[in-house]
Structure 1
Amino acid sequence: MTLERRIAAAFCMDAAAWARHTNPWSGWTRVPALPLLALAIWSRAWLGWWALVPMAVLLAWLWVNPRLFPPPRDETAWMTRGVLGERLWLARDETPVPAHHRRAPNILSAIGATGVLLAIGGLAMRAGWIVIAGVAVAMLAKLWFIDRMVWLHQDMTKEGE
């Protein structure tokens, strides 16, 4: 089982949740989660322990979000195809992905993780520019990752032929 599939399992992502998560509203409303989480953590400077409230709300949102929206009417939206491609990527140990799709997602995930670590360091040091840089790197890597998943979905489903 891939690491990504284990993470999805930890979020209790069953087939119904994945079907709902392919709704573009689900994907796009998750995009601001990282900057908002960084802001919630940063707010400990003026909210103290009350900063745990927005953190908890955001974490709850990340769990509820894939279950909140109905499945999309079609699969034409970029975000929908990205999530469908992500499912294919998660199952790559059972259904191999084409060779030209094997490297970039891992590199982009590593870049994204580096951005998250940079943001965590910035939050620990209360260095705003480091937090902003880390969040920007992580978000750009994630969006590029989704774009690669659209391409993966297109190649594996022979979309457009």
Structure 2
Amino acid sequence: MRDYGHMAERLFHMDERTWERHASPWSVWTRIASLPLLLGAIWSHTWLRVWALVPIGLVILWLWLNPRVFRAPARTDTWSAKATFGERVWLNRAQVPIPAHHVRVANILTSVSAAGFALALAGAILNDLLMAISGGLTAWFAKMWFCDRMVWLYDDMKDKHPPYAAWLRGGQKEVQ
């Protein structure tokens, strides 16, 4: 069974080159900052009516363009690059198994983030500020924790599967 991550990867057409570009800190941090923009665009339906589809569409277009518009970073030994590498490892777990403790926590964090996003989405649609903000913060913090967990996953797996180690470049070689 395919999960949300695989569906998103397919929807966003994430090929090798796109993943390399997405490892850019500019890509990671501007994408992370996109949630308030999306919620604001949805919220705008109250006064823009059907025209709210324009800002919503622009944010969705930005989410698709984001991993494509920034250059691949020269260094990939950063937290943001490793977070994207961990996501790739996570998505590849059917081919290269990962430790069970990562699976458990990643599934929990994905569920919490999805629930927070659903609450935020409902809040934006209903123009309920408390619901939108609390759901948005829940989704955002769970996603950030998930990203941090992906850094840990990548660090655990890069020496167990040589293609993963090849993604790392720049900086000092890590001392084991």
Smaller-chain TM-score range? over 0.9
Matched, 1:65 2:63: no
User: Does the aligned pair in 2 maintain the 1:5–1:91 contact within 8 Å?
Assistant: no
Distance 1:87 1:71 in 2: 16
Distance 1:38 1:17 in 2: 25
The residue number in structure 1 matching 2:170 is none
The residue number in structure 2 matching 1:80 is 81
TM-score normalised according to structure 2 size: 0.87
TM-score normalised according to structure 1 size: 0.94
The residue number in structure 2 matching 1:51 is 52
For structure 1, the residue ranges without an aligned partner over 5 or more in a row are none
Q: Which amino acid aligns with 1:95?
A: V
1:99-119 C-alpha deviation (Å, 9 max, x unpaired) = 221100000000001001111
The residue number in structure 2 matching 1:34 is 35
Q: Which amino acid aligns with 1:66?
A: P
1:56-84 C-alpha deviation (Å, 9 max, x unpaired) = 11100011111111111111211111000
CA root-mean-square deviation: 1.3
What is the percentage of aligned positions where both structures have the same residue? 45
Cα distance, 1:160 vs structure 2: 4.2
User: Does the aligned pair in 1 maintain the 2:79–2:151 contact within 8 Å?
Assistant: yes
Distance 1:82 1:23 in 2: 11
The residue number in structure 2 matching 1:20 is 21
Distance 1:120 1:61 in 2: 18
The residue number in structure 2 matching 1:101 is 102
Distance 1:46 1:119 in 2: 19
Aligned length: 161
Distance 1:149 1:142 in 2: 10
Cα distance, 1:14 vs structure 2: 0.7
User: Does the aligned pair in 1 maintain the 2:18–2:67 contact within 8 Å?
Assistant: yes
The residue number in structure 2 matching 1:133 is 134
Moved segments of 4+, more than 3 Å: none
